[in-house]
Amino acid sequence: MARITVDYFSAALMRTTTLDVILPVDNVGDAMALDYNLRHNNQSAQDAPYPVRKGPFKTLFLLHGITGNHTDFISETRIRALAEDHNLAVIMPSGYNAFYLDQPETHNYYGRFVGQELVEVARAMFPLSQRREDTFIGGVSMGAYGALRNGLNYCENFGAIISLSSAMVVEGFDRIISDDLFFLSRPFLESTFGDLNHVVDSDKDPGRLAADIVYCDRPRPRVFMAIGNQDPLAPANRYLADRMRGTGIDVTYREMNGGHDWHLWNEALQQAIDWLPL
């Protein structure tokens, strides 16, 4: 299971950005089995083929939450083992606390970055499947929002969306403004989401994007949502699941025992990957 770190120049961000990547080209078990056979048959490795697994691989684009970066999933979850078990490539970008939304003034098109550019660039770098059906986007917390928003907005690219404990799917942004956390302050929310009175029903509202996809007969990604039953974000997630289902999107929604933390996400990630068509 190759573990890869990439620094590349992103045209969507106009700067070099860093990715972590998991690519299932190598496998210890394959190599050991080959070695076992060679030894027991008194053969030399010289003529044996190398046990390389070749693509095209199914691919999950996986987005971290607020305060994190591209290294989060490898440090905090067992994504490497999960990906190996399922022969899955995983692409993990950095999100810069920006909720994976475009910021045109500073030419930081974070939405295009994860929804469009990264798909093209990752396919140009690695042997990934070019098929929408084999391409998935997911994330935790801020990254779950990013996966819902960009998975739906760029629905031609993604066959499935994984949302674990999505943040910011609220119906009324004015209700959550607070001085408790920097990302709940009015200046932060306005510079990230724009006019807070017009987020609902905009292209930053996953519920609206789902309705538009169905209305315009664009490809419909399947959606997996999970959240902890002790997470204050649970009601808003449940409401969004119902809303998307109402439009005709296929939504699997699970409330699990737990809160808003890596313990829950480790378990939920396993369930989500089992749910993917792998």
Shortest separation between residue 96's beta carbon and a second copy, angstroms:
7
Q: Which is nearer to a second copy, 82 or 233 (CB)?
A: 82
Is position 182 an interface residue for a second copy (rule: CB under 8 A)?
yes
Nearest distance, CB of residue 154 and a second copy, angstroms: 11
| Nearest residue (CB) to a second copy, 68 versus 207 | 68
Considering only CA atoms, which of 80, 138, 145, 89 is closest in space to residue 275?
Answer: 138
Chain positions 86 to 115 lying near a second copy, rule: CB under 8 A, are 96-98, 104-109, 112
Number of residues that bind a second copy (CB under 8 A): 81
Kind of pairing, strands 222-228 and 251-256? parallel
* Nearer of residues 188 and 239 to a second copy, judged by Cβ: 188
Rounded distance between C-alpha atoms, residue 255 and residue 229, angstroms: 6
Identified binder of a second copy from the candidate list 62, 66, 160, 273, rule CB under 8 A: 66
Task: Give the shortest CB-74-to-a second copy separation in angstroms.
Answer: 6
Q: How far is CA 199 from CA 31, 115, 202, in A?
A: 52, 19, 5
Query: 């994504």: which residue's tokens?
Result: 79
Minimal distance, residue 11 CB to a second copy, in Å:
4
Residues 150-179 that bind a second copy (CB under 8 A): 179
Q: Which residues of 175-213 are buried (b: 16+ CB within 10 A; e: fewer)?
A: ebbeeeeebeeeeebeebbeebeebeeeebbbbbbbbbb
Which tokens in the block code for residue 91? 């692409």
Which one of residues 86, 132, 183, 252 is an interface residue with a second copy (CB under 8 A)? 183
Question: According to the binding rule CB under 8 A, does residue 3 interact with a second copy?
Answer: yes
Comparing CB distances to a second copy, the nearer of 45 and 246 is 45
Please report whether residue 78 would count as binding a second copy according to CB under 8 A.
yes
Residue 202 near a second copy by CB under 8 A = no
CA dist., res. 235 & res. 168, Å (int): 12
170 neighbors 236 (Cβ within 8 angstroms): yes
- Residue 215 binds a second copy (CB under 8 A): no
275 binds a second copy (CB under 8 A): no
* Angle 259-19-166 from CA coordinates, rounded to 5°: 25
Token pair 């302050």 is found at: 185
